[in-house]
Amino acid sequence: MKHPSLYLMQMRTKLARLMSDNDAAAQRIAWVDYAKGFCIVFVVMMHSTLGVEQAAGREGWMHYLVAFAQPFRMPDFFLISGLFLAQVIDRDWRTYLDRKVVHFLYFYLLWTAIQFALKAPGMAQDHGVAGVAWLYLETFIEPFGTLWFIYLLPVFFVVTKLAHGLRIPALAIWLVAASLEIAPIHTGWTLIDEFAGRFVYFYTGYIVAQRLFTLATQVQAQPETALAGLTIWGVVNGVLVFNGLAGLPLVSLALGLAGAAAVIAVSALLAQIRLFEPLRYCGKHSIVIYLAFFLGMAGSRSILLKYGWISDIGTISVIVTLAGIIGSLILFWVVRHTPLRFLFERPQVFWIAPKKPLVLQPAQ
- Cβ proximity of 267 and 302 under 8 Å: no
**247: Cβ–Cβ under 8 A, 6 or more apart, which residues?**
none
pLDDT of residue 363: 32
pLDDT of residue 23: 43
pLDDT of residue 359: 41
pLDDT of residue 17: 52
Whether residue 2 has pLDDT greater than 60: no
Mean pLDDT of 114-130: 88
- Cβ proximity of 50 and 278 under 8 Å: no
Condensed to tens digits (0 to 9), the pLDDT of residues 41-73 reads: 999 999 999 999 999 999 999 999 999 999 999
Break the chain into its structural domains and give their ranges: 4-109+146-350
Whether residue 35 has pLDDT greater than 80: yes
Share of the chain above pLDDT 70, in %: 90
Task: Assign 354 a pLDDT band (cuts: 50, 70, 90).
Answer: confident
Angle CA(292)–CA(297)–CA(299) in degrees, nearest 5?
105
Mean pLDDT of 187-205: 97
Residue of 34, 17, 5, 53 whose CA lies nearest to 270: 34
Mean pLDDT of 11-15: 54
pLDDT of residue 364: 31
Q: How much is the mean pLDDT over the chain?
A: 90
Residue 71 zone, left/alpha/beta (φ > 0; ψ -120 to 50; rest): alpha
Whether residue 11 has pLDDT greater than 90: no
Rg (CA), the chain: 21
Mean pLDDT of 190-203: 97
Q: How far apart are CA 344 and CA 122, in angstroms?
A: 26
Task: Assign 14 a pLDDT band (cuts: 50, 70, 90).
Answer: low
Q: How far apart are CA 44 and CA 302, in angstroms?
A: 16
pLDDT of residue 274: 76
Torsion of CA 239, 243, 244, 250, to 10 degrees: -40
Task: Assign 317 a pLDDT band (cuts: 50, 70, 90).
Answer: very high
Q: How far apart are CA 328 and CA 337, in angstroms?
A: 15
Task: Assign 10 a pLDDT band (cuts: 50, 70, 90).
Answer: low
- Dihedral sign for Cα atoms in the order 324, 328, 333, 338: positive
- Cβ proximity of 164 and 8 under 8 Å: yes
Whether residue 309 has pLDDT greater than 70: yes
- Cβ proximity of 267 and 83 under 8 Å: no
Q: Which residue has the higher pLDDT, 98 or 357?
A: 98
Share of the chain above pLDDT 90, in %: 83
3-state secondary structure of 289: helix
Condensed to tens digits (0 to 9), the pLDDT of residues 209-242 reads: 999 999 999 999 999 999 999 999 999 999 999 9
Q: Quick one: how far is CA 261 from the chain centroid?
A: 15
Residue of 81, 79, 69, 61 whose CA lies nearest to 44: 69
pLDDT of residue 178: 98
Residue 63 zone, left/alpha/beta (φ > 0; ψ -120 to 50; rest): alpha
Q: How far apart are CA 297 and CA 59, in angstroms?
A: 17
Residue of 271, 241, 244 whose CA lies nearest to 259: 241
Condensed to tens digits (0 to 9), the pLDDT of residues 80-109 reads: 999 999 999 999 999 999 999 999 999 999
Give the pTM.
0.89
